[in-house]
Amino acid sequence: MSPGCNNGRYAIRWITASLYIVLRTELDRSTELFLADKLHVLRTMLRERPDDEDGLREEIELESEARRYQQFYIRLLDEHGVPIMTTPGMDEQLDLAELASRTRGRSERSIAMAGRHGQPLRVTSATVTVGTLPTHSDTVQIAIDVSQEVELLARYRMWFWGILLATSILFPLVGYRIARHGIRPVEEIAATARRITSTNLRERIGSEGYPSELASLAGTFNEMLERLEESFERISRFTADIAHDLRTPVNNIRGEAEVALARARTVDEYRDVLESSLEEAVRLSELIGDLLFLARAESPLTELHRENMNISELLTTVRDYYEASATDAGISFVVKEWAHPLNAELDRSLMLRAVSNLVSNAIAHTLPGGTVTLAATNEDAVIRIEISDTGVGIPAEAIPSVFDRFFRVDPSRSKISGSTGLGLAIVQSILALHGGSAEITNQLGHGTRVTLRMPVLAMR
Detail the DSSP E strand segments found in 160-314: 306-310
Work out which of 423, 429, 433, 452 binds Mg ion, going by CB under 5 A: 423
Residue 361 in the binding site for Mg ion (CB under 5 A): yes
- Residue number, 185 or 423, with CB nearest to ligand ADP: 423
Kindly state the smallest distance separating residue 238's Cβ from Mg ion, in Å.
Answer: 17
Kindly state the smallest distance separating residue 209's Cβ from ligand ADP, in Å.
Answer: 47
Query: For the chain, how far is it from start to end, CA to CA, in angstroms?
Result: 51
- Residue number, 361 or 448, with CB nearest to Mg ion: 361
Instruction: Identify which of 436, 377, 373, 440 has the alpha carbon closest to the alpha carbon of residue 404.
Output: 440
Residue 448 in the binding site for Mg ion (CB under 5 A): no
CA dist 396 and 411 (Å) reads: 17
Residue 258 one-letter amino acid:
E
Stretch that binds Mg ion, among 100-108, 147-155, 172-180, 360-368 (CB under 5 A): 360-368
The values of phi and psi at residue 272, to 5°, are: -60, -45
Q: Which residue is nearest to ligand ADP (CB)?
A: 423
- Residue number, 179 or 282, with CB nearest to Mg ion: 282
CA dist 343 and 307 (Å) reads: 10
Instruction: Identify which of 159, 422, 169, 205 has the alpha carbon closest to the alpha carbon of residue 292.
Output: 422
Stretch that binds Mg ion, among 29-37, 202-210, 355-363, 366-374 (CB under 5 A): 355-363
SS3 call for 70 = coil
- Bridge partners of 379, per DSSP, are 382
156 binds, among Mg ion, ligand ADP, none (CB under 5 to 8 A by kind): none
CA dist 368 and 22 (Å) reads: 105
Q: Which residue is nearest to Mg ion (CB)?
A: 423
Kindly state the smallest distance separating residue 252's Cβ from Mg ion, in Å.
Answer: 21
- Residue number, 212 or 412, with CB nearest to ligand ADP: 412
45 in the Ramachandran plot: left (φ > 0), alpha (ψ -120 to 50) or beta? alpha
Compute CA distances 126 → 27, 354, 359, 392, 429, whole Å: 22, 118, 124, 123, 110
Compute CA distances 403 → 121, 315, 442, 453, whole Å: 100, 22, 14, 15
Kindly state the smallest distance separating residue 373's Cβ from ligand ADP, in Å.
Answer: 12
Q: Are 81 and 103 in contact (CB under 8 A)?
A: no
- Residue number, 343 or 356, with CB nearest to Mg ion: 356
- Residue number, 125 or 420, with CB nearest to ligand ADP: 420
Kindly state the smallest distance separating residue 398's Cβ from ligand ADP, in Å.
Answer: 7
Give the gyration radius of the chain's Cα atoms. Answer: 54
326 binds, among ligand ADP, Mg ion, none (CB under 5 to 8 A by kind): none
Residues of this chain that bind ligand ADP (CB under 6 A): 357, 361-362, 365, 389, 391-394, 402, 407-410, 419-425, 448
Q: How many of the chain's residues bind Mg ion (CB under 5 A)? A: 2
- Residue number, 48 or 410, with CB nearest to ligand ADP: 410
Kindly state the smallest distance separating residue 186's Cβ from Mg ion, in Å.
Answer: 50
**In the complex, which residues of this chain contact Mg ion (CB under 5 A)?**
361, 423
